[in-house]
A and B are shown apart, each in its own frame.
Chain A
Amino acid sequence: MKKMTYAEAIRDGIRQEMKRDSAVYLCGEDVGKFGGCFGVTAGLVDEFPGRVLDTPITETAIIGSAVGAAAVGLRPVAEIMFVDFTGVCMDELFNQAVKMRYMFGGKAKVPLVLKTICGGGVAAAAQHSQCMEAWFTHIPGLKTVMPATPADAKGLMAAAIRDDNPVIYIEHKQLLGLGGDVPEGEYLVPLGKADIKRPGTDVTIVAWSWMVHRALAAAEALAKDGISAEVIDPRTLVPLDKDAILASLAKTHKLVIVHEAVRTSGFGGEIAAVAAEEGFDLLDAPIKRVTAPDTPVPFSPVLEKAFLPDEGKIIQAVKELF
């Protein structure tokens, strides 16, 4: 084990795979000399000459070219600086990357990682703070990965790169400096395997990305009030580890879903539907969702605080079930 930040762990995951496979390359805006907008890819340009490429500001061509390169045998890690910018390369992602295999009758594979970052809390306002994961989960053929800890960040990055499908790997700004133990050497976290971040018996809280930590803080506070909350981090939304969620529900019979994304058509709705369809008999209370409201992300720190789900809102939602 080695202490690392989330940012260092992402870099370590990329490094591990670039060392292992010369078909892996990294490209994106300012990922090279500048080391990435948040410093995540710092130094890789020197470690891997010719394999870390600064692109112009050209999201369409970043993902479009990554699709072409992946279809003919490379394994691009293509960065879109903020998830908010994926609108500019959406056709390349949802009509090209993910559909090639199906449209071509299974005769192509597109091992492409779209690396990007989401999330609020830094007063970056409405075009640099969003959580768009629900968009991506609605695209068959794509996998959606959202790590919450340094170890998961490394292992999921490595697994995403090795996957033969397009994967969107969404980091969170709030987590970049988070420290934690990360396995040294080759480390992979399989896609589609949830992690119980805190075991508990009275209520299941499903949360991902930054919200895992807010859920953990809430669980800590709830424990003092005698409520034992189990915090499940699916880690990947597609594929979704339904079994882990249902197994937890079998124990707690109560479900609270927390996500930073806005409420309507958020991925929480999907998890609630899974629970209702496949775990109806396990539930003994209504399902609760703690989410951002259906508004753009505001700029003012005061407004943004009101917008974001937090420990207090989670605690309140849980307590409404008891």
Chain B
Amino acid sequence: MQLAKENLLAFYQTMVTIRTFENKAAELFAAGKLPGFVHLYIGEEAVATGVCANLTAKDYITSTHRGHGHLIAKGGKVDLMMAELYGKATGYCKGKGGSMHIADVDLGILGANGIVGAGQPIAVGAAFACKYQQNGAIAVCFFGDGASNRGTFHEAMNLASIWKLPVVFVCENNMYGISNCQRDHMNICDISDRAAAYGVPGVTVDGNDVVAVFEAAAEGVKRARQGDGPSLIECKTWRWRGHFEGDPATYKNPEEQKTWLQKDPIPRLAQKIIELGHAGEADLANIADAVKAQVAAAVAFAESSPDPVPADVLTDVYAGQ
């Protein structure tokens, strides 16, 4: 797999954007500026980035409650996202969805989702539509280790397999379903093992290595586009934060946490970029500064945006209302 300088720098930019956005969201939440729940993607940036780099705006993704990273990697706009986190009228969902329901159907983002596992059959349906319309697009379903225990996983995998649908199931195994570590919620360690039960190829890759994720996703996406059916890619990664902001995550083993923090995907890529001579430390710092400014502008946009008006509660229930 030959990755050009532009690819690597784009990976870097996307991962840094996600990290910066999430750190800012953590800070704003702690300051009491964001209502509701916020589930952060810090530490898992390589998964969304490596996968979405293989997609176009015509392809679809379904996301999860921990969805900010998927949205950014698929091209979501940080100012509209931030305004939505604030519940403002200018947000992606006009303040009606919040962090857990951000969507941009025009960009193929079929929504974050507050129900664990719900995106799986929805992605299968989007993939069915791609096949039915023969439009060459595909769907990617992001979900976590916990969601692979849901019945939706079983039904979605099975239907995708028998209908040979263009869908890539991307399991972000961050080792925890809320407070339950993986060994307490399933009796296997590689979720890719589950694929065989549906006649689907399943692979496991290092989810903290954006290049490894990119390579595996490229093959899954190629397979889907060629009409060869679904695949399951398990990306082993780690949720740095609690399940939601405010969760102190006392259930995590501090040693394990320490080990995983050392596998931070962003410095890993940065080091590689520098080694290859694609950019110097100053160049990367410039990218990070530009991202920081972009996120700061998003916050300013959100804060200066109007709240929705009370009458808006009644709109958007039905189409053609």
Contacts and interface: CB of A to CB of B under 8 A. Distances in A.
CB–CB under 8 A between A and B in the complex?
yes
A316 interface: no
A256 B115 CA distance: 41
B121 A92 contact: yes
A141 interface: yes
B159 A68 contact: no
B91 to A, nearest CB: 7
Nearest to B114: A95
Contact of A61 (B60, B121, B320): B121
Interface in B83-138: 91-97, 101, 103-106, 110-111, 113-115, 118, 120-130, 132-133
Nearest to A58: B155
B94 A69 contact: no
A71 B110 contact: yes
Interface residues of A, number: 42
A98 B318 CA distance: 9
Interface stretch (A106-114, A211-219, A290-298): A106-114
A92 B133 CA distance: 23
B124 A65 contact: yes
Contacts of A71: 105, 110, 122, 125-126
Contacts of B315: 106
Report, as a range, how many residues of chain B touch the other chain. 35 or more
Contacts of A72: 60, 105, 110, 125-126, 129-130
B121 A106 contact: no
A61 B318 contact: no
Contacts of A104: 92-93, 96-97, 101, 103, 105, 111
A76 B92 CA distance: 26
Most buried by A among B60, B103, B123: B103
Contacts of B162: 56
B152 interface: yes
B158 interface: yes
A118 B239 CA distance: 46
A92 B159 CA distance: 15
A68 B129 contact: yes
B116 to A, nearest CB: 10
A74 B129 contact: yes
A69 B128 contact: yes
B316 A106 contact: yes
Contacts of A103: 93, 96-97, 101, 103, 111
A47 interface: no
Contacts of B91: 105
A107 B104 CA distance: 8
Contacts of B31: none
B155 A61 contact: yes
Contact of B159 (A65, A91, A109): A65
Interface string A70-105: 111110100000000000000110011000111111
Most buried by B among A56, A68, A76, A163: A68
A312 interface: no
Nearest to A164: B319
B92 A105 contact: yes
Given A65-B122, A102-B317, A60 B94 contact: no
B62 interface: yes
B124 A64 contact: yes
A164 B320 contact: yes
A67 B60 contact: no
B125 A67 contact: yes
Nearest to B93: A105
Contacts of B96: 102-105
A96 B319 contact: no
A25 B132 contact: yes
Nearest to B315: A106
Given A60-B155, A164-B319, A65 B93 contact: no
Interface in A128-143: 140-141, 143
A213 B56 CA distance: 55
A209 interface: no
B151 interface: yes
A107 B121 contact: no
Most buried by A among B60, B110, B113, B315: B110
Contact of B122 (A68, A76, A141): A68
Contacts of B151: 60
Interface of B: 60, 62, 91-97, 101, 103-106, 110-111, 113-115, 118, 120-130, 132-133, 139, 151-152, 155-156, 158-159, 162-163, 315-320
12 contacts: A65-B156, A68-B121, A71-B105, A71-B125, A73-B133, A91-B115, A96-B122, A103-B111, A104-B103, A107-B104, A141-B317, A164-B320
Query: Closest 10 CB pairs between A and B?
Result: A64-B121, A68-B125, A65-B125, A106-B316, A105-B94, A105-B93, A164-B319, A61-B155, A68-B122, A103-B101
Given A71-B110, A104-B103, 20 more contacts: A25-B132, A56-B159, A56-B162, A58-B159, A63-B121, A66-B125, A68-B121, A68-B127, A69-B128, A72-B105, A72-B130, A96-B122, A102-B316, A103-B93, A105-B97, A107-B92, A107-B103, A141-B317, A164-B319, A165-B319
